[in-house]
Amino acid sequence: MSKMGLLSHKSLFCLFLMTSVVFILSWFLVLRSTGPNHSVDFSILPNSKLFALSYNENFDKSSVMSASKDKEEETAWNKYSKHCDPNKQVLKVFMYDLPSEFHFELLDWKAEGKSVWPDVRAKVPEYPGGLNLQHSIEYWLTLDLLNSEFAVNLSGRSAVRVRNSSEADVLFVPFFSSICYNRFSKLKPNQKKSTNYLLQEKLVKFLFAQDEWKKSGGRDHIIVAHHPNSLLDARMKLWPAIYILSDFGRYPPTVANVEKDVIAPYRHVIRSFIHDSSDFDSRPTLLYFQGALYRKDGGIIRQELFYMLKDEKDVHFSFGSVQKDGVKQATKGMHSSKFCLNIAGDTPSSNRLFDAIASHCVPVIISDDIELPYEDVLDYSEFCIFVRISDALKKNFLINLIRSIGKEEWTRKWKRLKEVENFYEFRYPSKDNDAVQMIWQAVSRKVPAMKRKLHRARRFSRTIVSGQGEVMSVDIPRNFW
Ligand SMILES: *[C@@H]1O[C@H](CO)[C@@H](O)[C@H](O)[C@H]1NC(C)=O
Ligand SMILES: *[C@@H]1O[C@H](CO)[C@@H](O)[C@H](O)[C@H]1NC(C)=O
């Protein structure tokens, strides 16, 4: 009996001990989760909580508080870090003062005086219109950095230009590679190599000679190559950098991938649907597609779908890419359709998705390999429909699926489209959470992993400073990423 009593005493004590431990632990967790509030406003993003936490963990107070001693270099960043909330993290970007032949001269702008940059307070050079504009991301990002120096109020800003590269989180290479490809890849008379080729060659030479590049092997550099064919010659050499791309279709996975790089939206060519008071019943066309018929690679599916859908009377399916006067018609078509098809072409991405978003026409995406902008913080299933290529090719699968989506579900997606459309608007000056700011934020989210890998890679390497003060590159293995 006494043995039994002892046992039950023991187990009671054990139980008490365990409960106390659990209680203390949970109290501790509650305390942690009600810690100081973060002033960064992530509420606009769907995964805001998760993001805000990881974001602030990587926050380095000392780097934000440091203000330049150099009075003459009172940049917007310095003003900001002195007077504003140090908890609000803004990406610090150093921009190379590349000769203007790499950027605004490609837009027929001519430099006056010594500056390689236009005075963006006076007049902003225009980017050539038409289909060129889809890939104009390089232009908007550069303008935003130039403008950041004149900003009196940095609220709503995600990036700011700093003049001292050692204070920067990332280094921006302002080469307008897309317009360079579009306008200068043909040989001119007397040319052996195209301007597009020569500029890339020059850029590689320039970057490889910079101490900043040598220090990191280029890992903290940002290079925009939004047109799938832009930077074709230099991409295999500059790949350690963070690329801003439209998709990875024409890149080997070691050169560009979703871990390292940033996917940016196309600038839509269809006009935005301002004051959209349409609804499910007032959009007469069920499904809309306009595009080229015969495309390489993944594009064969277009033809198959055409034969499947051509006899459905509320489906608009026509071929021919959107040209000048076609934009007006396509705008009308997309603004009056419930669903807009987005089918893999010769690249996994196309501007059609972003045209659909601007039209509040629920995108139906048939492209297994598509990469979507900001997908780490945005759930596309809230406003898009995804269909596997193999399913789309089954008889009547697509049309039955789309007909099964009722007014309620469609309206939910349509409302969400109106909430997210701002994430895809490129403008100057840029505003809160538009495409420019969202791209900078996406770059910011790459920074902690990039820095961690960079620091790890430096563990066993020595920076050798030779007699002339030359910094040798650090020894970083090729399979770094
Ligand atoms: C900065 O702009 C925001 C709105 O964009 C405004 O709420 C805030 O008061 C402004 N701050 C200053 C110091 O002007
Ligand atoms: C640039 O920043 C680094 C680190 O903050 C500092 O040591 C250096 O003096 C700065 N250079 C100039 C020219 O201000």
CATH of the domain at 361: 3.40.50.2000
Identify which of 66, 164, 169, 212 to mutate to test ligand 2's pocket (most ligand atoms within 8 A of the CB): 164
Ligand nearest to the Cα of 157, by number: 1
Sheet holding 159-161, edge to edge: 159-161, 91-95, 170-173, 221-224, 242-245, 262-263
Ligand 1, atom 13, lies closest to the CA of 153
Residues 210 and 350 in one domain: no
Task: Give residue 46's pLDDT.
Answer: 42
d(CA 365, ligand 1 centre) in Å: 39
Q: Which atom of ligand 2 is nearest to the CA of 66?
A: 5
| Non-local CB neighbours of 82 within 8 Å, separated by 6+ positions | 67
Domain presence at residue 73: no
In a domain, 83, yes or no: no
pLDDT at 325: 67
Pocket test for ligand 2, best of 167, 211, 212 (most atoms within 8 A of CB): 167
Q: Are residues 375 and 250 in the same domain?
A: no
Closest ligand 2 atom to the C-alpha of 68?
14
Global model pTM greater than 0.85:
no
Interatomic CA distance for residues 65 and 85, integer angstroms: 10
The SS3 assignment for 97 reads: coil
Domain boundary among 424, 451, 469: 424
Question: What's the gap in Å between 375 CA and the centre of ligand 1?
Answer: 29
* Contacts by residues 61-64 (CB-CB < 8 Å, ≥ 24 positions apart): 61/86, 63/92, 63/167, 64/89
Give pLDDT, residue 398.
Answer: 96
Q: Where are the beta strands (DSSP E) in 5-131?
A: 91-95
Residues 296 and 349 in one domain: yes
Residue 466 lies in a domain: no
Residue 473 domain-assigned?
no
Residue 153 Cβ < 6 Å to ligand 1: yes
Give yes or no for residue 155 CB within 6 A of ligand 1. Answer: yes
pLDDT at 184: 96
Give the domain range for residue 372.
Answer: 285-424
Burial class, 67, CB count within 10 angstroms (exposed 0-12 / middle 13-18 / buried 19+):
middle
Q: Which pLDDT score is estimated for 350? A: 84
Instruction: Determine if ligand 1 sits within 6 Å of the CB of residue 83.
Output: no
Ligand that lies nearest to the alpha carbon of residue 167, given by its number in the listed order: 2
State both tokens at 242. Answer: 């963070």
> Which ligand is closest to the CA of 92, given by its number?
2
Same domain? For 103 and 233 the reply is yes
Quick one: 237 and 329 in the same domain?
Answer: no
Q: Are residues 360 and 235 in the same domain?
A: no
Give yes or no: residues 147 and 240 share one domain. Answer: yes
- Same domain for 116 and 192? yes
Is the residue at 373 inside a domain? yes
Of all protein residues, the one whose alpha carbon is nearest to atom 6 of ligand 1 is 155
**65 touches 88 (CB < 8 A):** no
Last residue of a domain, one of 408, 424, 440: 424
Looking at the domain assignment, is residue 463 inside a domain?
Answer: no
Q: How far is the CA of 70 from the centre of ligand 2 (A)?
A: 9
Q: How remote is the CA of residue 156 from the centroid of ligand 1, in Å?
A: 9
β-sheet bridge partners, residue 287? 315, 339
Examine the fold and report which residue of 401, 424, 447 is the final residue of a domain before the chain moves on: 424
In this structure, are 237 and 383 located in the same domain? no
Q: How far is the CA of 152 from the centre of ligand 1 (A)?
A: 9
Same-domain check for residues 146 and 221 = yes
Site to probe by mutation for ligand 1, drawn from 82, 155, 437 as the one with most ligand atoms within 8 Å of Cβ, is 155
Contact 178, 135 (CB under 8 A): yes
In a domain, residue 315? The reply is: yes
**Residue 382 falls within a domain, yes or no?**
yes
- Please list the pLDDT of the chain residue by residue as tens digits (481 residues): 455 555 566 666 656 777 777 677 677 665 555 444 433 344 444 444 334 433 433 333 333 334 334 444 556 666 656 555 544 689 999 999 999 999 999 999 998 888 999 999 999 999 998 889 999 999 999 999 999 999 877 888 999 999 999 999 999 999 999 999 999 999 988 889 999 999 999 999 999 999 999 999 999 999 999 999 999 999 999 999 999 999 998 999 999 999 999 999 999 998 999 999 999 999 999 999 987 765 565 567 888 888 899 899 999 988 776 555 678 888 999 999 999 999 877 777 888 999 999 999 999 999 888 899 999 999 999 999 999 999 999 999 999 999 999 999 999 999 999 999 999 999 999 988 999 999 999 999 999 999 998 998 888 876 554 444 444 444 555 554 4
Number of structural domains (the chain) is: 2
Paired tokens of 431: 């505003």
Residue owning the nearest CA to atom 11 of ligand 1:
153
Query: DSSP secondary structure string, 317-339?
Result: EEES---TTHHHHHHHHHHTEEE
**111 plus 249 within the same structural domain:** yes
Based on the fold, state whether residues 254 and 309 are members of the same structural domain.
no
Q: Please list every protein residue whose CB sits less than 6 Å from any atom of ligand 2.
A: 66, 68, 70, 164, 166-167
